[in-house]
Amino acid sequence: MPVAGTSLYIADQYLTSRSIATFALLFAVWNAWKERHAAWIAWSVAALCIHPLMGVFGISYALLLLLMKRRESTVAKMLPSFPLAIPLTGLMTVSSDAYRVAVRTRSYFFILQWQWYEWAGIFAPLVLLWLFSRISRKNKLPASDIISRSLIVYGLFYFVAALVLTIPERFQTLARFQPMRSLHLLYILLFLLGGGLLGKCVLKRYAWRWIVLFLPVCGVMYFVQRQLFPTSPHIEWPGVAQANDWLQAFDWIRRNTPIDALFAINPNYMEMDDQHGFRAMAERSRLADAIKDSGAVTMFPDLPSAEHWLEQTRAQRGWEHFQKADFLRLNQIYGVSWIVIERSAAITLDCPYKNPTLRVCRVN
C-alpha cells in the first residue's frame, strides 16, 4: 500500500532500516500510551539510532498522544512541543547547482509536485480518522477515540510543516527532511485502528466474513506486487538459486572479480533489475547511478558529493550507445576496470561472464 506521494509503502518489500525502526516505533507508541516511560524512551532511542527521521516522527506522535490522553493541552499548547518547532536556521545551507540538479530528481520532496490522487492520500486518511473517532465514541472506545483524534492533529501539523519547508525556494535544502513521510506512521496506525473497528463492529466472530473480505484483498495485493517485481521471486529463500539474470551476474562478480575493482553499469539499471542494488549484491564499487545515488546526495547539501554524482552521471550519459572508446574513457578518467553491459550490445571486449541478458567485461 503506497503512502500518498511520499514514495513509501506501509511495509517495504525488502528489509530496510525503516522496517526495523517502524517495529521499534510501534512499541514506543504502545508504551507511551501505557505511560511506561522507561520502555517508551528505550524504544524511541532505538528507533532514532536506526532511522533518525522516522524516529523523530514517532517521538513527536507519542508526545502528542500522551498530552491528549492526559487532557492537559489544547492544539495551541501542543504544537510548540513538536520537534519541528525548533529553529532550523542552523540546518540551512546554500545549495550548489549540482545539488539542485540532484534534488529535482526527488519530486516527492516537494508537495506542490504531487499528483491530485497523492493529495487525496493526505486528507482521505484524516477524514477516515474523524469517522473512526465518531464510531469509537458511539461504541464507548475511548482509546480508539483519542488515538484517532491525535493522529488528525499529527497529520495536520506535518502538512503545515511541509507547506513551510518545501514550497519556498530558500528552504530547498530543508526539503530533505521530508515532513510528509510522517504519513508512514499515520497510515500504519490508521489501518490498525480501522482493522480493529472493522473486526469489532462488522466481522466479529464470523470466520466467513473474514475470508470474504481478506481473500480478495490479499489476492489483489499479491497480483500488484508481482507486477512491481516481475523477475524476482515473491519470497527470496536463502540458498535458492536466483532466476534473475541481473542477480546472477552480480553474484558472479562477487565471486570472481578483484575486491578493489571499479565497475560501470547502466546508470538506470535499477529500473531493469527489480531495484536490486549492485553494491550490496556484488560487494563491489561502481560509478554513480541515476536512481538511488541522487537520493543519498540530497541528504548532504554541505558536502561535495552532489558534484561527484553529477560529474559521473554525465560521464555515463548516452550509455545505450556507448562503444569501446567510451568505456576506455571511463577507464582513463575514473579507473573503471570492469563493466556490466546488455548482451545485445555490439561491443568487442573480453567478457568472461555471459547470460541471456548481460555480459560482464574487462576494460583495459
DSSP annotation of 34 reads T
17/342 Cα distance (integer angstroms): 32
Helix (H, G, I), strand (E, B) or coil at 91: helix
Q: State whether the Cα torsion 146-150-151-156 is positive or negative.
A: positive
Q: Give me the pLDDT at residue 91, please.
A: 58
Q: Give me the pLDDT at residue 86, please.
A: 47
Q: Give me the pLDDT at residue 76, please.
A: 43
**Residues paired with 359 in a beta bridge:** 341, 354
pLDDT tens-place string over residues 305-360: 889 999 999 999 999 899 999 999 999 999 999 999 998 888 888 899 999 999 99
Q: Give me the pLDDT at residue 30, please.
A: 94
Q: Give me the pLDDT at residue 250, please.
A: 93
Here the cell at position 296 is 543519498
Helix (H, G, I), strand (E, B) or coil at 150: helix
Here the cell at position 31 is 508504551
Q: Give me the pLDDT at residue 104, please.
A: 87
Q: Give me the pLDDT at residue 238, please.
A: 83
Spell out, as residue ranges, where the chain has pLDDT lower than 70. Answer: 72-94
Q: Give me the pLDDT at residue 343, please.
A: 86
Q: Give me the pLDDT at residue 75, please.
A: 46
pTM (predicted TM-score): 0.85
CB distance 330 to 316 below 8 Å: yes
Q: Give me the pLDDT at residue 74, please.
A: 47
Here the cell at position 257 is 572479480
Pairing of the two strands 338-342 and 262-265: parallel
Q: Give me the pLDDT at residue 94, please.
A: 60
242/151 Cα distance (integer angstroms): 42
Q: How many CB atoms lie within 10 A of CB 292?
A: 14
Q: Give me the pLDDT at residue 87, please.
A: 52
76/18 Cα distance (integer angstroms): 31
Q: Give me the pLDDT at residue 73, please.
A: 46
pLDDT tens-place string over residues 134-167: 999 998 999 999 999 999 999 999 999 999 988 8
